Amino acid sequence: MEKIVQEGKRLRLRQAVEADLDYITEADHRPGNAEFVMADTRETHARLMAGPDTMQLIVERKDTREAVGFLLIAGLTSPDKEMEWRRVIIDAKGQGYGHETMELVEAWAFETMKFHRAWLDCKDYNARALHVYEAAGMQREALLRETILVNGHYENLVIMAILDREYFARKKAAGKDA
């Protein structure tokens, strides 16, 4: 049975199941996505799906149940209540799904799961993603210079995070119930 973890206006997040592994792996490696992430194999995604500290969520349209992206979440057993959004892939670009996905994952992290902090890293040249994360209230915390070797050259990562109190303050300022 599919477990829905959060629902929005157009999208919902549901816990991925084994039948989703092909989609997850294909989305991870698809042009337009793969250059911005360290794509994993199907076997790695299957292992992560079975782990107690990680969860993969399918981002799907509510009306058609079509998958439009996925999230890889880590840190679920963190005693510090710190969640890592290790992978955020929106496969259907240019439709505002990234913004709605961030709203949903933040609500789930802070309202449902009661986490204190959520963070991610992003390649410094991924302007589209950086815009979406900043619009969602995430703050740039650090630049890790030349930290990953990709195709023979080093790339930078931007560390971004949001705290629970920042999330709730943004929600209150927007006139939404906290």
Contact indicator for 40, 28 with CB cutoff of 8 Å: yes
Angle formed by the axes of helices 42-50 and 21-29, nearest 10°: 130
- 4: left (phi > 0), else alpha (psi -120 to 50), else beta? beta
Judge whether residue 172 has pLDDT over 90: yes
- Average pLDDT of 8-13? 97
Q: Within 13 Å of residue 98, how many CA atoms lie on the same side as its CB?
A: 20
Higher per-residue pLDDT: 5 or 2: 5
Domains of the chain: 4-173 (3.40.630.30)
Tokens of 160: 């971004």
- Average pLDDT of 84-103? 95
Give the integer Cα–Cα distance in Å for 151 and 155. 10
Higher per-residue pLDDT: 176 or 121: 121
Q: What is the mean pLDDT of the chain?
A: 95
**Interstrand relation of 82-90 and 117-123 (parallel, antiparallel or unpaired):** parallel
Residue-wise pLDDT for 50-93, tens only, equals: 889 999 999 999 999 999 999 999 999 999 999 999 999 999 99
Residues 6+ apart with CB under 8 A from 99: 132, 135, 136
What's the pLDDT score for residue 160?
Answer: 98
Judge whether residue 34 has pLDDT over 90: no
What's the pLDDT score for residue 176?
Answer: 76
Residues 6+ apart with CB under 8 A from 150: none
